[in-house]
Structure 1
């Protein structure tokens, strides 16, 4: 993605704060009404109305409490963040629904994704050699198996070989699996706070 692409321009601090506040409001709305907050994109700045895929990650005391998102941009980013914040709090199948007493301890992180770029590789060794730790988010797909790791996962899995092996497991494949039909794409994120 070139630096002149408008999607790659970082948001200003006010827009970042707006998205974080919106994510929290959507979770609070979910606690009260059982659904995500309704967002009118026209009420937000032009950069926040752009179609952009997002992930919302929730942490409690540094531990994952929920993470839901989209890999492809299908709606304005304000709508995507509101929906994903609600889903991360109440619909992540790995965790029970968030309770009201957990909200004050919750830390909300937002990742805005660039469009995924397919990678053409001839082998697993070539793929591992081309990965950029700390920068690349990765999507791996083989048949109906699909998984992704955001770039932030490199903090827990800094070794490219381990990162890829764990992503295969997340996608429902054996850690040592490789095939000529496996598809891999990479993306980057703007993450905050």
Structure 2
């Protein structure tokens, strides 16, 4: 259940938009922004940045709020300069940067009757999750399964991301799932990740 209209051809233009938005903010030359009808369709995306094999920023939107091209550009700038876990990206880091764009499917509410039941419904490596409880919210992209392959660990860390204790449970917790179509730049030969 990935984005209903996503095409493999979308990757290069989306990655060019993301990298260009970061370059422009750094005062560097950016390639012209691609134009296509599908870039005008509302979409939800995340932009993830890696540098030398390490996470360097990740920001995004969970619901379609603006055109796809705009969403990617804005999320790229947010990931590079406003992810609270990292200092703003320096110009010297730009050449080592690897960009990944995740195009999200619609959120699908996941009904369950207990935490044990919820754990049986999760699809490792496929599901991204959004957890909500009394105004607190946390989200993990499906890529997080690479670090947390066990459903119980994935859920516990998601609770922590939402600001809850890892062992917390309340029947008022709401979960929605989504999938992503991923596009990423190839790493240079000889560089990690």
Aligned-pair CA distance for 1:95? 0.4
Matches of 1:47 and 1:158 in 2, distance apart? 34
User: Which runs of 5 or more residues in structure 1 are unaligned?
Assistant: none
Q: Which has the higher helix share?
A: 1
Quote the residue 1:101 is aligned against. Answer: 92
- Which residue, out of 150, 165, 172, partners 2:156? 165
- Which residue, out of 102, 106, 118, partners 1:115? 106
User: How many pairs align?
Assistant: 182
Q: 2:27 aligns to what SS in structure 1? A: helix
Equivalent residues in 2 for 1:19-98 (5 A)? Answer: 19-32=14-27, 44-98=35-89
TM-score by length of 1: 0.90
- CA shift digits 1:52-104 (9 cap, x unpaired): 10000000112110000000000110000000000100011110000000000
Aligned-pair CA distance for 1:129? 0.5
- Which residue, out of 4, 22, 31, partners 1:8? 4
Matches of 1:11 and 1:51 in 2, distance apart? 16
Runs of 4+ in 1 over 3 A off after TM superposition: none
Equivalent residues in 2 for 1:140-155 (5 A)? Answer: 140-155=131-146
Matches of 2:166 and 2:124 in 1, distance apart? 19
User: Over aligned residues, Cα RMSD in angstroms?
Assistant: 1.8
Matches of 2:45 and 2:87 in 1, distance apart? 22
- CA shift digits 1:124-174 (9 cap, x unpaired): 101111000000000000012100000000011100000000000011001
CA contact (8 A) 1:51 1:76 kept: yes
